[in-house]
Chains A and B, each alone.
Chain A
Amino acid sequence: MRKLCLLLCLLTVLTLLTGCHGARRMEDFAMPESFDTSREYEITFWAKNDTNKNQTAIYEKAIRDFEALYPNVRVNLRLYTDYGKIYNDVITNIATNTTPNICITYPDHIATYMTGDNVVLPLDELFSDPNYGLGGSSLLFDGPTEEEIVPEYLQECRIGEHCYALPFMRSTEALYVNETYLNKLGYELPEIVTWDFIWEAADAAAKKDADGVYALNGQKVMIPFIYKSTDNMMIQMLRQLDAPYSDENGSILLFTDRTKGLLQTIAQHVKNGAFSTFKISSYPANLLNAGQCLFAVDSTAGATWMGTDAPLSDISPDKLVRFETAVRPIPQFDPAHPKMISQGPSICLFNKRDGQEVLASWLFVQYLLTNDVQTAYAETEGYVPVTQKARDDASYQAYLNYDGPEDAAHYSVKLKASKLLIEHTSDTFVTPVFNGSTSLRDASGQLIENTVKSVRRGETVDDAYFAKLYDSVTALYRLGQGNTAAAGKADLGPLPGTAKALLGGLLGVWVLIGVYVLFDRVKRRNR
């Protein structure tokens, strides 16, 4: 009996040890009562810029200014130009407990980071701390209160029951139009452009002569309508139609006849030579600025690349064509109720063993939301500040309403793009976030990319094609394989029978051990 009990005890301990192995759970963060300024802190900030040196300079200035306020904190900046690369590096570093303290990110990515246990810090407790929270009394700078953050943007950072990020900048997509060419075709540009209008005008712009020269621009290259992010294109078209895409539970609803209908329309206009994508052809700005494009959809955060006088144009001056650049919301199915995506960087905080180090990081995160940083960064591109406080700032209002001679800082296309988003903030939306939502987003763009390529390559694009496309894209992005909702605690249903049996067995072992110990004591006493 004793041997049996020892064996069972050993097995139990081994089971527990095995269970512990590989668990990387970080302790819950506890807010320190005060910030210990007698200690030195070194924190790491992984940031993203749009290959725009002005943005780099603003990050660097923000760090310098913050370090002047908090001389005991040193912020190490690591710059990226690609959200995907930050995402990959964070995933890699979660496994080794070497995440940065702070990183620029998207909520979709955070949902995946959260599969690491207690890795990303929920910010609710930090928000509300009276001393160091948003608008807290012990802050050495004038940060925003929670109420001063644009509520739509703060809501985007909620995953399940908690807020896991703060918005940093926001943008949307815009339709950049060569209005000179559009008028030449005989069209007037409406305030809100419909998809029907876009396709009709794009088809008209695709007319060329027997030598392949386009009537509209006299060149041999013309892509009347080009889209930068086909993920966004599909997502926004579906949302405008109230068609399914996904839901809060992580259900994947993309592969429907509604989606197929959109792909068929796109295919038709590719066949007409009216449409292509960034991945297949080039940067929309390069084509637009060379007079090889009528409509280009790109981020408002890419506005400084768009137009004849674009400060960041990437083609040689001899290729530039002079034209009037108009900025409009993306094409709509229902112009009376426009819908457009909300995008742009957010900031998340990673949990660390040293609560003081986390607090130092939290202070810097809030500093990034001060008016100076917000307005300076927003002015680098067609971004908008994420706080009402910064939007109402007199200098920002003066910037938006500038009517002096145009210069790089006050590039008119950029100003139009920023105003567009401010006017349409309430028309923006985001898609549900869950572990796997990044893959679903990629898949939605892939459907368009593959369809466009197939049409260009002369393949038959029919029902059988779409059935096969759905299968291949589902497999490529491993959709539906373990990508359950990560919105906190999902209801996993009743325990399976095998689990119940195992737990029952463990309970039985402990009961047997207890009985044995009791029996042994009684026996000794009787002796």
Chain B
Amino acid sequence: MDSEMKRVLALALALACAFTLVACGEKKDEDAKSEGVMTYAEYAAAALDSEVVIEAYVQAKQSWWNDQATLYTQDKDGAYFLYNAACSQADYDKLTPGTKIKATGFKSEWSGEIEITDATIEIESGSYTAPALDATKLLGTDDLIKHQNEFVTFKGLTVEAMDDTGAAFYYNWDSSGQEGTDADLYFRVTDGTDSYTFVDEYYLCNEESDVYEAIRNLNVGDTVDIEGFLYWYEGPQPHVTSVTVK
């Protein structure tokens, strides 16, 4: 290879490196918040009843009714529960796990659940699906609430009886429901120290879902791994999306 050729090659390599560097420098940070949008820390610090603007990724859709959607959303720093956000049926259909949205609404609290109400949403480009945080060791601690609404997993819990009859689950919180009536399923588990009530929210996972069926097949004493969203109602009451009997 003569020296002229070497110079051409060196120049080409230098140019390629320069382009690469420029390209890297201009790559958009998908995790960066748009102008006027709060970080999760700012959202967490915001006062109740104040207006909040967030960007997050849909993790699951709970329900749509009368142009209102209830959504579990999350970014890499925390989770946001959107309750009855204004949303057309067409937009709701576009939302899938991972879809990025911007929501403008009001930070509210209902029975201990921190949520965004009266929100409007815009669909943005970007995608993120949160891995399940293993929150088993956080059960019974003050740190659990810091992960409110996040997608979490609890491992190695034991199913307890709901009452003296040995029922492993209830249709509705007190067994006042029955099969085929859109009833939520309630079941109780223990980590060996305390008991916790978990819920299959019917509108999130109905009788056609695997988890609804799995709960109906639970037996007292089963050891289970559970995934779901860390919903709060007068204390932790996760909305489960998966139950695996070990």
Chain A residues with a Cβ under 8 A of chain B: 49, 51-53, 55-56, 77-81, 85, 280-283, 286, 312, 314-316, 319, 453, 456-458
Contact = CB atoms under 8 A, between A and B. Distances in A.
A49 B176 CA distance: 8
A460 to B, nearest CB: 15
A53 B180 contact: no
B126 interface: no
Interface string B83-127: 000000000000000000000001011111000001000000000
B176 A79 contact: yes
B227 to A, nearest CB: 24
A458 B234 CA distance: 27
A453 B118 contact: yes
Interface string B166-180: 000000111111101
The 3 closest A-B pairs by CB, nearest first: A282-B111, A53-B176, A456-B49
A286 B50 contact: no
A112 B109 CA distance: 35
A316 B234 contact: yes
B175 A53 contact: yes
Given A51-B176, A282-B110, A79 B235 contact: no
A51 B174 CA distance: 7
Given A79-B181, A280-B108, A457-B51, A319 B174 contact: no
Most chain B CB within 10 A, of A53, A80, A281, A312, is at A53
Interface in B133-183: 172-178, 180-182
Given A457-B49, A457-B50, A78 B180 contact: yes
A55 B181 contact: no
Given A314-B173, A456-B49, 20 more contacts: A51-B173, A52-B174, A53-B172, A56-B176, A56-B177, A77-B178, A79-B176, A79-B177, A79-B178, A79-B181, A80-B181, A81-B176, A81-B177, A280-B108, A281-B111, A282-B112, A286-B111, A315-B234, A453-B106, A458-B49
Interface in B214-246: 234-235
A120 B198 CA distance: 41
B190 to A, nearest CB: 15
A281 B49 contact: no
Contacts of B49: 453, 456-458
Interface in B11-40: none
8 contacts: A51-B174, A53-B174, A53-B175, A78-B181, A85-B182, A281-B110, A282-B111, A316-B234
Contacts, number: 56
Contacts of A52: 174, 176
Interface residues of B, number: 22
Contacts of A56: 175-178
Contacts of B51: 457
B36 to A, nearest CB: 18
Contacts of B174: 51-53, 312
Nearest to B108: A280
Contacts of B175: 53, 56
Contacts of B180: 78
A172 to B, nearest CB: 23
Contacts of A85: 182
Given A78-B181, A79-B177, A315-B234, A51 B172 contact: yes
B67 to A, nearest CB: 11
Nearest to B235: A316
A512 to B, nearest CB: 51
Nearest to B174: A53
A261 B221 CA distance: 59
B226 to A, nearest CB: 20
A51 B180 CA distance: 15
A115 to B, nearest CB: 19
Contacts of B50: 457
Contacts of B112: 282
A319 B172 contact: no
A316 B232 CA distance: 13
A315 B197 CA distance: 12
Contacts of A281: 109-111
A424 to B, nearest CB: 29
A389 to B, nearest CB: 28
A441 B234 CA distance: 30
A319 B173 CA distance: 19
B109 to A, nearest CB: 8
Contact of A55 (B109, B176, B178, B182): B176
Contacts of A79: 176-178, 181
B176 A286 contact: no
Given A51-B174, A52-B174, A457 B181 contact: no
Contact of B111 (A49, A55, A78, A283): A283
A108 B176 CA distance: 26
Given A78-B180, A314-B234, A457 B106 contact: yes
Interface string B188-208: 000000000000000000000
Contacts of A312: 174
Nearest to B112: A282
B169 to A, nearest CB: 14
A453 B111 CA distance: 16
A319 B233 CA distance: 13
Contacts of B235: 316
Contacts of A77: 178
A218 B206 CA distance: 42
Nearest to B49: A456
